[in-house]
Amino acid sequence: MAERERAPAPPDGGVFVARAQVMSADDMRRAITRIAHEIVERNAGVAGVALIGLQTGGVPLAGRLAGELERIESVPVPVPVGSLDATFYRDDIGLRPLVPEAVTDIGFGLDGLTVVLVDDVLFTGRTVRAALNALNDYGRAVAVQLAVMVDRGHRELPIRPDYVGKNLPTRRDEMVDVSPSGVSIGSVVR
Amino acid sequence: MTATHLLSVADLGTDGIEEVLRVTDSFVEVSARAIPKVPALRGRTVVSLFFEDSTRTRLSFEAAARRLSADVMNFAVSSSSVNKGECLRDTVETIDAMGVDALVVRHGSSGVPWQVAGWVGASVINAGDGAHEHPTQALLDCFTIRQRRGSLEGLRIAIVGDVKHSRVARSGVLAFTALGAEVTLVAPPTLLPPSLEGWPVTVSHELDPVLVKADVAYMLRMQSERMTGSLLPSRREYTAGFGLTRRRAALLPDGALVMHPGPLNRGVEIAAEVAGMPGSVITSQVANGVAVRMAVLYLLLGGAG
């Protein structure tokens, strides 16, 4: 049976070796605060806004963003937060072993909500494409927006983020690792 | 799964079983949705090739394949060229030549899925071969037990009844012990295999003392269709000694599970009211069967071909 893909282990095996840290934990905290303010500004508050983190890197970020939204808007009801694993909607099934990282958990109906998809790194855009298809099966959101901690470029699909922690120019063969202690850029050593 | 076939529980090993159970969690979530369907196996074709009767396994595999968006082809022996005398190999190779991705095979003779796997390019899944193995049944049983009890580690599982003719028992013993359970086989000597050498089990010919310590009472179906000769004096005598009657069910510790692979012979190996009591997870077994088979199909067909 195939190895499970697990962050921060690179998807196709090998070990991640960091070259430089590009965001510290404090930088990330500030970026989350800024993105939270942008979400509030863009949607004129947080009424009708839900956050859905993509498994696995987007899930903790979605939780932190929700906490920040509740703090700055001092809302009486918590912002709904869910998690989504879009493995079964990917277009590379059959090209490599793909095992779901975790179970999808969306405990609320999407109809009538504005969904902010949250992920750690935006790269080719294929994960977001799969997530958009998956969301369809859970209901019809009024609008879907995309928040990412790092946009590293190299898009293969017409997808752009609405909220970005940091734009980070990378080479295609590099790897970006996002953890609670910060964002690092490096490469995979086999 | 790096394997291309699922023929025996032994092929999976402990890690393989755990992986199937983990992926099954995701498919349980999919099955609970308003739209219980994902596009994961779009364009793949699954054929069910059943040379023996089946209700739940066949429908369960078909439901699993459809929920993964695979195409399903159905082979009914009664209306096929098998009736004109076409042999197994020609039948299988004909179907394979149509370009299918998986063959779900059930046959009355042990070993047929292995033979078929040698003839075709498609993935072969053993859906029961004679009295030999029924791996997806064992996987769904493990999943059901894990769902209720958290883990199989250290659980005492009693497999009761017609072990001799039971493929469910063989696959079950392999899977349960691989996950750390202790298995006791309970049956009259005539319904045990001629030799149990090398089986990681203990054997008892008396049910009551095993039940009082059991975490799971796994009742096997009396397989009258496979019985040759007289192995039992009478059904009534069997029920008196080895049936899970209402009196015996009361011996089970609190929280113990009652399981049965179906179809039930009510009043023979299990009393009708016992099958409906709270500790009975027989309908959960069926419900979980679809999710487990989705996981198996996805792991076999979703990887690099």
Helices B56-67, B135-149: inter-axial angle, 10-degree rounding:
80
CB–CB contact A104 B26 (8 Å): yes
pLDDT for position B167: 96
- A29 pLDDT higher than 80: yes
List, in order, residues 6 or more apart from A188 with CB less than 8 Å away. A10, A12, A14, A15, A16, A17, A175
Return the residue in B26, B41, B123, B301 with the most chain A beta carbons within 10 A, the one to mutate for interface testing: B26
CB–CB contact A98 B302 (8 Å): yes
A–B CB contacts, 8 A cutoff, strictly below: 67
Q: Does B61 touch chain A (CB under 8 A)?
A: no
Please check whether residue B15 is in contact with residue A1, taking contact to mean a CB–CB distance below 8 angstroms: yes
Query: How far apart (Å, rounded) are the C-alpha atoms in residues B63 and B73?
Result: 12
Architecture of domain B135-285: 3-Layer(aba) Sandwich (3.40)
User: Three-state SS across A21-54?
Assistant: EEEEHHHHHHHHHHHHHHHHHHCCCCCCEEEEEE
Q: Does B172 touch chain A (CB under 8 A)?
A: no
Query: How far apart (Å, rounded) are the C-alpha atoms in residues B148 and B296?
Result: 21
- B100 pLDDT higher than 90: yes
Please check whether residue B261 is in contact with residue B221, taking contact to mean a CB–CB distance below 8 angstroms: yes
- Mean pLDDT of the region B289-302: 95
- A21 pLDDT higher than 50: yes
A49 inside domain = yes
- Mean pLDDT of the region B128-149: 97
pLDDT for position B81: 82
A179 inside domain = no
> How crowded is the C-beta side of A63, counted as CA atoms within 13 Å?
8
Class of domain B9-133+286-301: alpha beta
Token pair recorded at residue B50: 């059943």
User: What are the tens digits of pLDDT across the range A101-121?
Assistant: 889 999 999 999 999 999 999
Parts of chain B belonging to CATH 3.40.50.1370: 9-133+286-301, 135-285
Token pair recorded at residue A21: 């840290």
Q: Does B40 touch chain A (CB under 8 A)?
A: yes
A8 inside domain = no
A81 inside domain = yes
CB contacts, 8 Å: A55 with chain B? none
Taken in order A41, A46, A48, A53, the sign of the CA dihedral is positive
A10 inside domain = no
Query: How far apart (Å, rounded) are the C-alpha atoms in residues B266 and B274?
Result: 9
Q: What's the length of chain B?
A: 305
CB–CB contact B19 A94 (8 Å): no
CB contacts, 8 Å: A5 with chain B? none
Lowest mean pLDDT among A4-18, A39-53, A102-116, B30-44: A4-18
Q: How many domains does chain A have?
A: 1
Residue A104, min C-alpha distance to chain B (Å): 7
Q: In what order do the strands lie in the sheet with B156-160?
A: B201-204, B182-186, B156-160, B216-219, B257-259
Q: How many CB atoms lie within 10 A of CB A169?
A: 10
User: What are the tens digits of pLDDT across the range B247-257?
Assistant: 999 999 999 99
Q: Does B32 touch chain A (CB under 8 A)?
A: no
Query: How far apart (Å, rounded) are the C-alpha atoms in residues B139 and B244?
Result: 23
Reported as a pLDDT band with limits 50, 70 and 90, residue A9 is low
Among A126, A120, A124, A130, residue whose Cα is nearest residue A53: A120
Q: Phi and psi dihedrals of B221, rounded to 5?
A: -80, 140
pLDDT for position A2: 35
Q: How many CB atoms lie within 10 A of CB B121?
A: 11
- A46 pLDDT higher than 50: yes
Taken in order B76, B261, B68, A110, the sign of the CA dihedral is positive
- A170 pLDDT higher than 70: yes
List, in order, residues 6 or more apart from A119 with CB less than 8 Å away. A53, A54, A57, A58, A61, A127, A128, A146, A147, A148, A149
3-state SS, residue A187: strand
- B232 pLDDT higher than 70: yes
The amino acid occupying position B227 is M
**Higher-confidence residue: B234 or A5?**
B234
Residue A131, min C-alpha distance to chain B (Å): 12
User: What are the tens digits of pLDDT across the range B42-93?
Assistant: 999 999 999 998 889 999 999 999 999 999 998 888 778 888 888 899 999 9
pLDDT averaged over every residue in chain B? 93
Name the residue range of residue A48's domain.
25-170
Q: How many CB atoms lie within 10 A of CB B172?
A: 29
CB contacts, 8 Å: A133 with chain B? 39
CB–CB contact B39 A89 (8 Å): yes
Residue A12, min C-alpha distance to chain B (Å): 13
Reported as a pLDDT band with limits 50, 70 and 90, residue A56 is confident
- A66 pLDDT higher than 70: yes
Among B123, B38, B32, B27, residue whose Cα is nearest residue A90: B38
User: Which H helix or E strand runs over B81?
Assistant: none
pTM of the entire structure?
Answer: 0.91
pLDDT averaged over every residue in chain A? 90
CB contacts, 8 Å: A98 with chain B? 302-303
CB contacts, 8 Å: B19 with chain A? 1, 4, 99
Cis peptide before B263 (omega within 30 of 0): yes
* ipTM for this model: 0.82
* Residue A66 belongs to domain with CATH number: 3.40.50.2020
- Mean pLDDT of the region A12-23: 86
User: What are the tens digits of pLDDT across the range B261-286?
Assistant: 999 999 999 999 998 888 999 999 99
Lowest mean pLDDT among A8-12, A17-21, A153-157: A8-12
Q: How many CB atoms lie within 10 A of CB A166?
A: 16
